[in-house]
Chain A
Amino acid sequence: MNWPAVLTLAAGTYLLRLTGLVLRDRVTVPARVERYLDLGATALLVALVATAALTDGDGFAGWARPAGVAVGALLAWRRLPFVLVVVLAAATTGALRYLGVP
């Protein structure tokens, strides 16, 4: 990896981030489109959760990780504090791995 590559990646990533922020302001969006933009963020975030919870590379992540995320989901649904959700999700997965679950 060299500096030109790092700077290209940095500039490209920054422009992707900024473009969204600025475009929205430049164009007047009807309420209908606004709803889709908002739902679009939901779609991306849930897709991120699903792929991060269940996949590693192009395959299955193993059982320990989804189990931890499931525990986190249950706790979040029961409205436990966010910090607990995160810590107990990780602890579940860590404990399962310690016990030999992949």
Chain B
Amino acid sequence: MRSLYRTIDRSDLRDATALAAAVGVVGASYGALAAAADVSPAIAIGMSVLVLAGSSQFLVVAVVAAGGSPVAAVLGGLLLNARHLPFGLAMSGVVADRWPGRLLGAHILIDEVVAFARARGSGQRARAAYWTCGVLLATFWLLGTVVGLLAGSAVPDPSVFGLDAAFPAALLALVLPGLKRADARRVGLTAAVVALAATPFLPPGLPVLVGLLGLLAAGRDTTAEVPR
């Protein structure tokens, strides 16, 4: 673990901090919304520490605010988080080689962290990036939640700052280099089309999962070809 700190690239640390700062602001809006929906501070903070998956936490708050049952909130949240399983399959080699690391690393398997580490390949640098980004995001998410709970309605809607564009843009910037591969480009494009087409008809979480149908466009392995 200690050797990880020495392998952290300075620019990776800067980028991860920027991402974490944005996560912190969104965390503040989560905290504020939770307070407005009469979710107790302990529950809101408990979710930020134990669930640590932003979109599912927002969903829970929305369900509660709309008077829905906790069971519906949990089921919806789990459906939204189902994508973490295939993410885990893809990230196993990056996260850790042994048990303690895996048990801990599983908790910070977050969309942005996955994209952040994958943009740095699969070696030592990717592993350092995974842990750095994961720990920073988890910390800022918690800090943001606490700030949001304390400030309540004083927290402005993050969409005023366009933060809702920051996350897809960040993810896109992180996956873009990988799309130089022709097969990845085909898969990605198909996944986007399928997920968008499914969005009006399926509950949150499922459209992204059916994006896996993009794999049907994988075709032959062309990794040996020179990327353009």
A contacts, CB < 8 Å to B: 1-10, 12-14, 16-25, 32, 35-55, 57-59, 61, 64-69, 71-73, 75-77, 81-83, 85-87, 89-97
Cβ–Cβ < 8 Å partners of B199 in chain A: 51, 55, 58
Contact yes or no, B173 A82, CB < 8 A: yes
Cβ–Cβ < 8 Å partners of B196 in chain A: 50-51, 54-55
Contact yes or no, A37 B211, CB < 8 A: no
Contact yes or no, A51 B208, CB < 8 A: yes
Cβ–Cβ < 8 Å partners of A4 in chain B: 70
Assuming the contacts A13-B78, A47-B207, A72-B165, asked whether A19 and B88 have C-beta atoms less than 8 A apart, the reply is yes
Contact yes or no, B162 A13, CB < 8 A: no
Contact yes or no, A47 B105, CB < 8 A: no
Assuming the contacts A40-B215, A46-B191, asked whether A90 and B162 have C-beta atoms less than 8 A apart, the reply is yes
Looking at the assembled complex, report how far the CB atom of B121 sits from the nearest CB atom of chain A, in whole angstroms: 12
Looking at the assembled complex, report how far the CB atom of B55 sits from the nearest CB atom of chain A, in whole angstroms: 9
Q: Using a CB-CB cutoff of 8 Å, which residues 86-100 of chain B contact chain A?
A: 86-93, 95-96
Q: Is the interface of B mostly helix, strand, loop or mixed?
A: helix
Contact yes or no, A73 B51, CB < 8 A: no
Cβ–Cβ < 8 Å partners of B204 in chain A: 57
Cβ–Cβ < 8 Å partners of B173 in chain A: 72-73, 75-76, 82, 85-86
| Residue of B14, B52, B160, B213 touching A97 (CB-CB under 8 A) | B160
Cβ–Cβ < 8 Å partners of A1 in chain B: 39, 43, 60, 64, 70, 73
Residue B144 is within 8 A (CB to CB) of chain A in the complex? no
| Residue of B19, B39, B88, B175 touching A49 (CB-CB under 8 A) | B175
Residue B15 is within 8 A (CB to CB) of chain A in the complex? yes
Cβ–Cβ < 8 Å partners of A39 in chain B: 183-184, 187, 214-215, 218
Using C-beta atoms within 8 Å of the partner chain, give the interface range for chain B: 35 or more
Contact yes or no, B214 A17, CB < 8 A: no
Residue B123 is within 8 A (CB to CB) of chain A in the complex? no
Contact yes or no, B162 A94, CB < 8 A: yes
Return 21 A-B CB contacts under 8 Å, by A number.
Answer: A1-B43, A1-B70, A12-B74, A12-B78, A13-B52, A17-B85, A22-B88, A37-B86, A38-B90, A39-B215, A44-B83, A44-B191, A45-B111, A46-B189, A48-B111, A68-B169, A69-B165, A82-B18, A85-B173, A89-B165, A90-B165
Q: How far is the CA of A18 from the CA of B95 in the complex (A)?
A: 11
Q: How far is the CA of A37 from the CA of B165 in the complex (A)?
A: 28
* Interface residues as binary, B156-168 with A (CB distance below 8 Å gives 1, 0 otherwise): 0001111111111
Assuming the contacts A1-B60, A23-B89, asked whether A93 and B191 have C-beta atoms less than 8 A apart, the reply is no
Looking at the assembled complex, report how far the CB atom of B62 sits from the nearest CB atom of chain A, in whole angstroms: 10
Contact yes or no, B165 A17, CB < 8 A: no
Q: How far is the CA of A97 from the CA of B43 in the complex (A)?
A: 33
Closest B residue to A95 by beta carbon equals B162
Looking at the assembled complex, report how far the CB atom of B216 sits from the nearest CB atom of chain A, in whole angstroms: 10
